[in-house]
Amino acid sequence: MSVFQFPDGFLWGAATSAHQVEGNNVHSDWWAWEQAGRVKDRSGPACDHYRRFEQDFDLAASLGHSAHRFSVEWARLEPAEGQWDDEALAHYAAVVRALRKRRLEPIVTLHHFTNPQWFLAKGGWTVPGSVEAFARYVRRVAAALGDQVRYWVTINEPIIYARMHYLQGLGPPGAKDLSQAIRVLEHLIRGHAAGYHVLHAARRMEWPRPEVSIAHHLPVFRPCRRWSPFDQWITRRTDQIFSVAFLEALTDGRWEVPGIGARRIPEARNTLDYLGVNYYGRQFIRWVPVPGLWPGVPCDLGHHPREVPERTSMGWDVHPESFFEALRRLGRTGQPILVTENGTSMTDDARRWSYLWRHIAAMGRAVQAGANVIGYCCWSLLDNFEWADGYGPRFGIVEMDYATQERRPRESARQYAEVCRTNRVMTE
């Protein structure tokens, strides 16, 4: 065992998103989706974080955190098109002040899987008007929070958003249509670019310089059947689009989907001030030639008893070594990296801590190997509403009793606090 000391000023915290913790997000498309019975659980009051944020930030501060990632809910700010709710805006300004008061660096996400219902009704991210609508919303948020916020995430996991809502049909509008998914991705690139420029243009001299990124889901892709040339090929292509091309669009302004076409998006050039990264595990890809669908689908991990010796309670792969690899790969770009999510839904909290510890240690090794990682947010501060999987999975380092709204820090929260306070980790 040796000890790895992180660089001074390294940010340690936890992440949440509005719809998953706030409760009663009644104007959002996810709320309507739940009310229509399209998922097993309804988010309902969730963790009531909209009213209890002060208490939750006290908890985060008491656990040694120095940063906190959360999302602003567009559907609250603009419940009907062009109608702005000033109280909701004031609420988020109070949230940011509450963080600053506790010396928690705010990391603000502008879009985390949810949209206002009116926005989806107008075609959501499939239509070009989505970009300007999003830019208008970002302008309001920038004016209200820009004096207090340095770190911004425009869009959380654009690729997962497109896949989950437009390929797998697991969230509103429940589409399963490759051409729609590709249109959504293009508009998300444009939306991010618009958000980036709005945030920079809104800045006043005395405000912090905005650091803007997306939160990029960066799994390490592997073929389901290692021996299959089809699986190998589609895995390379999936990696090319999801891990390489998408980030290239935000650096070079060129968006290329192999086999489909390339397009210049000049406004997206150089729109990443840092790289926000979400990492959970490897993803195994299988060739399935279904017309109209991206032919690389995640395979049933059951095919890989030997290759996937360890999984979470949700069946997700656990592989800290791949986290190291992903960070090292990104590190070669020379850009600062902020880990915007990493965590697990283990039912056994000792296994949760083992997961977090090994991933933090892998991150330490990546820093040692030259990756400029500036911070880490574990997912999540609280157990919360896990989209189509509802309230089953427990990702929190703090346990939620949903019946009483009681919060109970788990042992993993205390172990993590030690890392946050000492700024170091034991490595294997």
Give the active site residues. 157, 341
Check residue 387 for interaction with ligand FCB (CB under 6 A).
Answer: yes
Figure out which of the listed residues 12, 14, 17, 304 binds ligand FCB, where binding follows CB under 6 A. 17
Within 17-128, residue ranges assigned H as helices are 18-21, 29-35, 49-62, 74-77, 86-101, 117-121
Check residue 388 for interaction with ligand FCB (CB under 6 A).
Answer: no
Q: Is 207 exposed, middle or buried (0-12, 13-18, 19+ CB in 10 A)?
A: middle
List Cα–Cα distances, 421 to 6, 10, 304, 414, in angstroms.
Answer: 11, 11, 39, 10
Per-residue binding letters, 299-338, with ligand FCB (x by CB under 6 A): ----------------------------------------
Q: Which stretch binds ligand FCB (CB under 6 A): 142-150, 155-163, 184-192, 241-249?
A: 155-163
Shortest separation between residue 270's beta carbon and ligand FCB, angstroms = 25
Binding to ligand FCB (CB under 6 A) within 201-240 occurs at 217
Binding footprint of ligand FCB, residue count (CB under 6 A)? 12
For residue 306, the number of C-alpha atoms closer than 13 Å in the C-beta half-sphere is: 2
Contact yes or no for 110/138 (Cβ under 8 A): yes
Check residue 156 for interaction with ligand FCB (CB under 6 A).
Answer: yes
CA angle 139, 143, 148 (to 5 degrees): 125
Q: In what order do the strands lie in the sheet with 296-298?
A: 220-223, 282-287, 296-298
What does the alpha-carbon distance between residue 393 and residue 345 come to, in Å, rounded to a whole number? Answer: 5
What does the alpha-carbon distance between residue 355 and residue 364 come to, in Å, rounded to a whole number? Answer: 14
71 DSSP β-pair partners: 109
DSSP state of 241: I
How many C-beta neighbours within 10 Å does residue 408 have?
12
Per-residue binding letters, 157-186, with ligand FCB (x by CB under 6 A): x--x--------------------------
Nearer to ligand FCB, 93 or 160 (CB): 160
Per-residue binding letters, 260-299, with ligand FCB (x by CB under 6 A): ------------------x---------------------
What does the alpha-carbon distance between residue 401 and residue 42 come to, in Å, rounded to a whole number? Answer: 16
Q: Which stretch binds ligand FCB (CB under 6 A): 5-13, 31-39, 358-366, 379-387?
A: 379-387
Binding to ligand FCB (CB under 6 A) within 340-359 occurs at 341
Q: Which stretch binds ligand FCB (CB under 6 A): 5-13, 28-36, 145-153, 156-164?
A: 156-164
Sole residue written with tokens 């980790």 = 425
Check residue 395 for interaction with ligand FCB (CB under 6 A).
Answer: yes
What does the alpha-carbon distance between residue 284 and residue 301 come to, in Å, rounded to a whole number? Answer: 7
Figure out which of the listed residues 10, 92, 221, 379 binds ligand FCB, where binding follows CB under 6 A. 379
Check residue 385 for interaction with ligand FCB (CB under 6 A).
Answer: no
Shortest separation between residue 227's beta carbon and ligand FCB, angstroms = 30
Footprint of ligand FCB (CB under 6 A): 17, 20, 156-157, 160, 217, 278, 341, 379, 386-387, 395
